[in-house]
Amino acid sequence: MKKITKIFASLSIVMLLGSCEKFEEFNTNPNVPSTVTPELLATQILKDTYRFWNPNPTDFGTANLWAKHAVMLETNPNPYQYYYSYSPYGSFGGMQKLPTLNKMAQLAEGNLNESSYKGLAKFMKAWYGIGMTLDMGDVPYSEAGKLEEGIRTPKYDKQEDVFKQILVDLKDAEALFAAGKSFNGDIMFGGNPVKWRRLANAVQLKVLNVLSKKSNS
Amino acid sequence: MKKQRNFQVSIGTIMKVSFFQFFLFIFSLTYVYGHRVNAQDLLNTRVDLNLEQTDIRTVLSTLEKKADVKFVYSSRTIPINRKVSINVRNRSVAEIITEIFKPEVVNYKEVNNRIILNIQRNDTENKVSEIEMPLVAPPVEFLVKGKVTDEKNEGLPAVSVTVKNTKTGTLTNENGDYELKVDNGNVTLVFSSVGYIAQEVALGNRNTLNVVLAEDERVLEEVVVTALGIKKEEKALGYSIQKIGGDKIQKVAGVDVGTSLTGKVAGLLVRNSSDFASVPTVTIRGENPLIVIDGVPYQNKTLTDISAEDIESLNVLKGATASALYGFRGANGAILITTKNGSNKKGGISLDFTSNTMLTAGFLAIPEKQTLYGRGSNNTYDINSDNSWGVPMDGRNLVQWDPFEKVFKEKPYLPVGADNFQNFLEQGFISNNNLSVAYTNGKVSLRNSLNFIDNKGQYPNSTLNKYTYSIGGDINLDKLKISSNISYAKKTSPNISSNGYTSYDPMYTLLIWSSPDFNVLDYKDNYWITKGVLQNYTYGLQPDGSYKGASQNNPYFDRYQKTNEINRDIFNADVSVNYKLFPWLNATVRSGLDFYKEVGELRISQGSYVATGNTGVPGNPYTWAGTKTGGYVIGQNSGFSINTDALLTGDRSYKKFNFEYLAGGTIFFNRDDNMNAATAGGISIPEFFSIKASVTSPSINQTLYRKQVNSLFARLGVSWNKLLYLEATAREDWSSTLAKGNNSYFYPSIASSFVISELMPNTAEWLNLLKLRSSYTISKDIPGVYSINSNYSITNNTWNTLTGASMPSNLYPTDITPSAANTFETGLQGIFYNHRLTADVSYYAKKMYNGIITGPVSPATGFSGVYTNTKETTTRKGWEVILGGTPVKTRNLKWDAALNWSTYKRVYSALDPTYSAKKPWIAVGERVDVLASRDFLKTPAGDLIYNNGRLVYSSYDTRFGFTDPDWIWGFNNTVSYKNFTFYASLDGVVGGIMNTRTESYLWQSGNHPESLTPERAADVATPGSKNFLGNGVKVVSGTVTYDAFGKILTDTREFVKNDINTTYKQYVIDLHNSSAWGGNGSPTDTYSKSYLKLREIAVSYTLPAAYMKNVVKGATISLIGQNVFLWAKDFKYSDPDGGVEDFSDPSVRYVGAKLNLTF
């Protein structure tokens, strides 16, 4: 009887031991990071945005590259010859980057280069906005990228309002870069805020130029 | 580092657990061995017994349970219905027996571990059945002798033999022999024994009368195993459980037990693919069941790791209610496997040897191809084309590759490879051998079993070996029961290849993408031009000497130089300790662990024209390595699961009420590790297959998954007067895969059984049981490991040396709750004429809700999806019917038949306004299992519309039909005649549709045997001409507009009969749309899955005991067959049994012999 009690006691203890690993930690994946630094996010987002994907010669005729210098002659015209964006279709894909931009700015808080990352976040949002509204006119902008706040169907803003907000965002970006320090992860300007400030200004001019024919606003 | 150490600690702990268990087990064995049990011990076993006003039959059966003894008595001599009261503590069985039969004197005698009871009457007048001498017998005129045996031909002791309507009688002796003097030779003798159906036999002046008594299942109270190993009487069940005896799946032993299970259980669908080394998939009511082996729900050990010979019985728990106590793992039903433990033998040592050997003997279905036209893609000869849209192979001289001289030269163009595919196939076989040793000595039993399966597939270099070794033992002491099983299984193949639309599949290479203009046998053992570097094949090299490559290899090269090796090892051990704390309370601790490792290795030679493609290794499903560079890919999964239950169980009776109760807890932990690596840039040295051979940095990946679920549960069963049974269970789980604070959930279940036959005592003659059951449960299922986590993905060196990170594209809220299902089930069961006829009908409805989905959202929200609980609800409703019985039963001939039939449909019962897909066929009441694809464009009247002579596909999906079968059935027959047994198992699927990829690509590549049409001949006669005129219309004017689903909104089109020709090839290619790589199968290639199969057949002869003296206890020789005959509604060139037709290997018939010897 005593032996049996011992057997039972031992088995019960063993059973409990088998379970004493850290229950709470099992759902944490050790092979992926749960937090990152802002420069890692910046690198990937800049690459995803500005990388030129296709070495096909005709792609150099698309809007962003040589379109203002050369004329593309094709027997069957392609939509990409006429639209601003590379893709022949408009896409809200840029807005899908907004949570990443917010995260980048949030992760930089308290760092010396906080202002630069915040400027980059503002600038990139405006950049995506320009492409989107030129492709499609009225687009979600003011409420875009806010699913975490519960906005599942962001409202469409009038194109006029989108441009107004883009100009505000670019101005903010410019001011933030002006106050910013050099930052890491920048594959465009090596983290030089001065160059980014210039770009923010240039893009503002570009937007105003696009809007000049509708200057009533 | 810290985590690493924790892991080591836990491995250590678990190792300790199993070693501890092992030592405990061995220790206990030695202890009991030294304590030999003999007959006297049986009678001296001391127990407590407290029963009031209980009939003697119940007292005896209670005593049987408590003291673990078996009584044998005749109800004619023992006053079984007499009520007695007894209240004793720590008294021997002998004393108790003496006590309860007072004032009568009982004789007891131990025979073969059974105690034979006999009353010695006090009054001589009624003294009728003393063992040796029937008293009231003068005048003695007639002597009858004989032997009473059971169905296994073993002598039955203590069977009461009486003359009908008299008190004359005797009992059989230890060997079942009896001798009786009767008045005359025309009396009727009655043979009866507890546990057997009584028989009346007219003597008919015979002096010798041998009788076989059949076991009385009614008396034995058919016991089934329910969740957590609780044994219950069948009539107490409120849900559907079907029991399959091990003998039913051992008639024909193939590679997998699953195959033998096909068609045996209503609602259980087993898909047996004809592909080599593919494991049958088992679903119950359309879902994947939990596999529980000896009470342990292992995570990794499955049916394929078990030898059929080791299975004592299978209990299939069909619905969620039956398996409610298994929690989320039992949400789809469960298959409980009880392995043999040796204790059911009569004692001593017994050795059992079984050998099945089957050879391939012909085909149930095999693809064919045309042998008229050779290579080319536009009706001309093209030496580089792997299509067969070329010129006739009519002996004209053409430049061709010479496999022996290894040069291009002109020679007659002939269909020398007409039988290439069949010639490539080899004789296959299955050899399944099992040796087991069982040893029982009193209260200890042990069993050792070794199984070896050798399987040779049809293709060269395809072998599969499986080894299983298991040892199990039980110790049954007065209050303590310990049982333990340890087993190890290995599965290994040097090349399991890969099936489907991949160059690994010889069907891709030899049937589809090549022409019969070369003889494949010329390339056997002749697949190199430069060993290790450049292969010898009819495709790939150019007449100008350049090396172009091809989209397929020499098929022999593929078999030996592009291999997919697998090795799987699995070890498991369990121990279960049961201790009787009080007469009304048992404590059980049961722990089981399985540890597995599976390794996949792809080796691809530098000479390969094609990559490994979508052939995977563990952890890397799409390897894409090695075109012309060679490659080596390895993936290794390893892991373990440990499941520990602690249970308190018991039962008490109060008047007519009986209570059964259970409370317990389970801890389940599971861990899976994966490491996989692949060479990059090829291998540096020919035939050097190692990660070290990688030309550039190899890619390496690692994953780890851990999960723990802790549970508490309870069960209460109440029965009243064996008429009404009620059972309720409750379980609460805490899962590590759910968010903290939101990680527990509850499942209840309730079941009832109403034994109608108890109210109909007058029907006892023909009605053994009529029972109505119903049950309801709420089951839950949890998200996978890490599913709720939001993690960054990292790209190393995304831009020069910079590393990039991205946020996940989905949003993962923390309020995810488990998916749930409410299952209602009801059924009616009847047993008639002592099991000569049984019937069982079930109906169930399972409403599935709160499913966990990734709901699509607009990217403007910042995400592409939300991981969330959907409001979409679906309901699966189904019927299951089981009919069984023994239509013929005479002394020599017995026919047992079992028929099962089941059907279900899953329909939408509510839609999620946000996340449900928007399709015309997605609506409440519509079926879920839709096969939808693009149909041909047709006029409103139904005519095909041709554009420039060609068929046009619609831009919108159409519902072609449903993929689930309308119903499935199985029909199993066993006919025994004297020592012969004939067994046949038939099953089938009716309804449901799927694409045929084999035929579709036979058509597209120009190889289909039915493509030899006059139009094709005309196209070939004048290359460039178009000779096929499609039967339909063309549009001459007007336009059509559609809504989002393809419904016509406006239509101003005008049609005239199509008058534009196209080529026959163009028509065929349009008609048979490519379905590989995510393409849509065309309606032409969509076939009915319906088939009927003669799954297994066996003719057995059991050698009479007399032939074998005492050397062999039993010997059975059988002629067996598996996959014997197929009828399919639409499938002509392939076997639809696998449920998916993606270049299914030819379906082969296996025929052979089986030998079973028992020593």
Chain A residues lying within 8 Å of B804, measured CB to CB? 40-41, 43-44, 47
- Ranges B527-531, B539-543, B594-598, B928-932: which has the least confidence: B539-543
**How far are the Cα atoms of A107, A170, B1100 from residue A173, in angstroms, in the given order?**
17, 5, 87
Side-chain half-sphere of B171: how many Cα atoms within 13 Å? Answer: 24
DSSP β-ladder status, B407-412 and B767-781: unpaired
Q: CA–CA separation, B458 vs B1095, rounded Å? A: 19
Phi, psi of B238 (to 5 degrees): -100, 10
Question: CB of A205 within 8 A of CB of A170?
Answer: no
Structure tokens at A141: 């902008």
**Band (B568; pLDDT cuts 50, 70, 90):** very high
Q: Which residue has the higher pLDDT, B193 or B951?
A: B951
Structure tokens at B871: 């409001």
- pLDDT for B201: 85
- Ranges A27-41, B78-92, B704-718: which has the least confidence: B78-92
Best mutation target, A1, A32, A44, A124, to test chain B (most B CBs within 10 A): A44
**How far are the Cα atoms of B944, B950, B1018, B1025, B1037 from residue B1059, in angstroms, in the given order?**
13, 11, 17, 15, 15
- Ranges B43-57, B62-76, B318-332: which has the least confidence: B62-76
> Quick one: which of A148, A30, A35, A17 has its CA closest to B785?
A30
Its pTM stands at 0.82
- pLDDT for B25: 44
**Band (B26; pLDDT cuts 50, 70, 90):** very low
Helices (H), B434-561: 506, 555-561
State the amino acid at position B796 in one-letter form: N
Q: Which 757-816 residues of chain B touch chain A by CB within 8 A? A: 785-786, 788-789, 791-795, 798-799, 802-807, 809, 811
Q: CA–CA separation, B679 vs B634, rounded Å? A: 9
Q: Show Cβ contacts of residue B1106 under 8 Å, excluding neighbours closer than 6 positions.
A: none
Structure tokens at B389: 């849209």
- Tell me the percentage of chain B whose pLDDT exceeds 90: 67
**How far are the Cα atoms of B328, B795, B994 from residue B929, in angstroms, in the given order?**
24, 38, 11
> Quick one: which of B560, B279, B365, B564 has its CA closest to B1136?
B365
Can you point out the beta strands (E) in B834-966?
Answer: 837-849, 852-856, 865-869, 873-889, 893-910, 930-936, 945-947, 950-951, 953-962
Q: What is the mean pLDDT of chain A?
A: 83
- pLDDT for B973: 95
CB contact under 8 Å between A26 and B788, yes or no, is: no
Q: Residue B540 in 3-state DSSP?
A: coil
Helices (H), B462-525: 506
Q: Show Cβ contacts of residue B390 under 8 Å, excluding neighbours closer than 6 positions.
A: B373, B374, B375, B376, B377, B379, B380, B381, B382, B515, B1006
**Band (A57; pLDDT cuts 50, 70, 90):** low
Residue bearing tokens 């037990």: B257
Give the closest-approach CA distance of A151 to chain B in angstroms.
7
Q: Which residue has the higher pLDDT, B39 or B808?
A: B808
**Band (B228; pLDDT cuts 50, 70, 90):** confident
Structure tokens at B947: 């554009």
- pLDDT for B1078: 74
Chain B, nearest residue to A103 by Cα: B807
**How far are the Cα atoms of B371, B417, B424, B1146 from residue B516, in angstroms, in the given order?**
6, 4, 13, 18
- pLDDT for B671: 95
CB contact under 8 Å between A146 and B708, yes or no, is: no
Structure tokens at B475: 């110790």
Kindly report whether the peptide bond that precedes residue B139 is cis, defined as omega within 30 degrees of 0: yes
What's the pLDDT tens digit per position in B471-517?
999 998 888 999 999 999 999 999 998 888 988 899 999 999 999 99
Chain B residues lying within 8 Å of A154, measured CB to CB? 858, 860-861
> Quick one: which of A125, A37, A135, A38 has its CA closest to A82?
A135
The answer, yes or no, to whether residue A63 has pLDDT greater than 80, is no
Residues forming beta bridges with residue B744, ordered by sequence position = B734
- pLDDT for B157: 76
The answer, yes or no, to whether residue B822 has pLDDT greater than 80, is yes
Q: Which residue has the higher pLDDT, B209 or B151?
A: B209
Q: What is the mean pLDDT of residues B315-321?
A: 89
**CA A171 remoteness from chain centre:** 18
Residue bearing tokens 């010898």: B536
Q: What is the mean pLDDT of residues B840-848?
A: 96
Which of A29, A91, A100 is facing B807, going by the closest CB pair? A100
Which of A26, A92, A93 is facing B706, going by the closest CB pair? A26
- pLDDT for B308: 93
**Band (A80; pLDDT cuts 50, 70, 90):** low
Chain B, nearest residue to A5 by Cα: B579
Structure tokens at A202: 């240039």
Chain A, nearest residue to B861 by Cα: A145
- pLDDT for A190: 93
- pLDDT for B4: 43
DSSP-based helix, strand, coil % in chain A, nearest 5: 60, 0, 40
Question: Does A139 lie at the interface with B, CB-CB under 8 angstroms?
Answer: yes
> Quick one: which of B1116, B10, B1110, B1001 has its CA closest to B508?
B1001
The answer, yes or no, to whether residue B149 has pLDDT greater than 60, is yes
- pLDDT for B23: 41
The answer, yes or no, to whether residue B605 has pLDDT greater than 60, is yes
**Band (B5; pLDDT cuts 50, 70, 90):** very low
The answer, yes or no, to whether residue B1063 has pLDDT greater than 80, is yes
Question: Does B1 lie at the interface with A, CB-CB under 8 angstroms?
Answer: no
Structure tokens at B801: 């040396």
State the amino acid at position B583 in one-letter form: P
Chain A, nearest residue to B786 by Cα: A27
Question: CB of B1103 within 8 A of CB of B1116?
Answer: yes
Q: CA–CA separation, B846 vs B822, rounded Å? A: 6
Q: Which residue has the higher pLDDT, B119 or B873?
A: B873
The answer, yes or no, to whether residue A135 has pLDDT greater than 50, is yes
Is the ipTM, as predicted for this complex, more than 0.95?
no
The answer, yes or no, to whether residue B174 has pLDDT greater than 80, is no
> Quick one: which of B1038, B1040, B1035 has its CA closest to B1051?
B1040
Chain B residues lying within 8 Å of A153, measured CB to CB? 858, 861
Structure tokens at B1141: 């037709």
Question: Does A22 lie at the interface with B, CB-CB under 8 angstroms?
Answer: yes
> Quick one: which of B1051, B1063, B1128 has its CA closest to B1091?
B1128
**Band (A84; pLDDT cuts 50, 70, 90):** low
What's the pLDDT tens digit per position in B431-484?
999 999 998 887 888 999 999 999 999 999 999 999 999 999 999 888 899 999
What's the pLDDT tens digit per position in B531-557?
988 999 999 888 887 878 889 999 999
Question: CB of B790 within 8 A of CB of B727?
Answer: no
CB contact under 8 Å between B736 and A187, yes or no, is: no
Length of chain B: 1159
**Band (B162; pLDDT cuts 50, 70, 90):** confident
Residues forming beta bridges with residue B410, ordered by sequence position = B399
The answer, yes or no, to whether residue B675 has pLDDT greater than 60, is yes
CB contact under 8 Å between B862 and A98, yes or no, is: yes
What's the pLDDT tens digit per position in B1034-1047?
999 999 999 999 99
Q: Show Cβ contacts of residue B66 under 8 Å, excluding neighbours closer than 6 positions.
A: B47, B48, B49, B583
What's the pLDDT tens digit per position in B188-201?
888 887 777 778 88
Best mutation target, A2, A21, A34, to test chain B (most B CBs within 10 A): A21
- Ranges A107-111, B622-626, B1001-1005: which has the least confidence: B622-626
CB contact under 8 Å between A43 and B811, yes or no, is: no
